[in-house]
Homo-oligomer: A and B are copies of this chain.
Amino acid sequence: MTPTITAFERSPDGGMGLARDTRVRWALEEVGQPYEVRLVSFRAMKEPAHLALHPFGQIPTYEEGGLALFETGAIVIHIAERHAGLLPEDGDARARAIAWMFAALSTVEPPILDLSTARMVEGDRPWAEERLPLVMDRIRVRLGQLSARLGDADWLDGAFSAGDLLMVSVLLRLRSSGLLDEYPNLAAYVARGEARPAYRRAFAAQLAVNAPSG
């Protein structure tokens, strides 16, 4: 059965691939699962039909037969359980890969999202300029720890896994800030993720929706 995901009718990033549907597209491309996409407007995201699928009014969602899922991490685990290629077979290695999925979404991404909030939502507040370095330093704490753990390895724990897929996706948000370039091994890690054919197909698919000329 072909799953259907939702994505922004027009992504706020204009096709840079930072919207979370790109993460699910990437996972589906890694395992070779075709999918359909239903585009949702900002207004429709807050209406009852979409809230029934996603209680927090966001994208992506994932529908497959009678199953409706939200939360990118849960969608990626669901895909990984039905297809080889995203989580290791060995139980201990699989548990560690899931740890990196949670690390990406609940330890590394929140301070990175705070930077967007500080710039976009609070950018015109009187404290914006003085507060920004504090927010950036909190990101540096996490990047320094992640950089130390990665070292000169290609991926976080052995072969590429769903943990890397989400961590690379989270770090991509930092490109325009310049922060990533302070940690050359993390910048190279992100570049390795972007070079994967599955990522490139996922990126192209979202760009086809969001390109300025599209």
Chain A residues with CB under 8 Å of chain B are 51, 55-58, 66-67, 69-75, 77-78, 92, 95-96, 98-103, 105-107, 109-110, 113-114, 121-122, 125-127, 130-131, 134, 142, 145-146, 148-149
Contacts and interface: CB of A to CB of B under 8 A. Distances in A.
A21 to B, nearest CB: 16
A24 to B, nearest CB: 13
Given A69-B96, A95-B78, A127-B125, A106 B105 contact: yes
Output the residue of A75, A98, A100 with the most chain B CB within 10 A. A98
B110 A110 contact: yes
A92 B1 CA distance: 14
B74 A95 contact: yes
Given A56-B142, A127-B127, A148-B55, A98 B110 contact: no
Contact of A134 (B75, B77, B122, B145): B122
A186 B53 CA distance: 20
A114 B134 CA distance: 13
A8 to B, nearest CB: 17
A68 to B, nearest CB: 8
20 contacts: A51-B145, A55-B146, A55-B148, A56-B142, A67-B92, A67-B95, A67-B96, A69-B99, A73-B106, A74-B96, A74-B98, A74-B102, A75-B99, A78-B95, A102-B102, A102-B105, A122-B131, A122-B134, A126-B130, A127-B131
A73 B163 CA distance: 13
Pairs A-B, 8 closest by C-beta atoms: A127-B127, A74-B99, A55-B149, A71-B102, A73-B102, A110-B110, A105-B106, A71-B99
A17 to B, nearest CB: 19
A57 B145 contact: yes
Given A51-B149, A74-B95, 13 more contacts: A55-B148, A56-B107, A58-B107, A69-B95, A69-B96, A70-B103, A71-B98, A71-B102, A102-B106, A121-B134, A125-B127, A126-B127, A127-B127
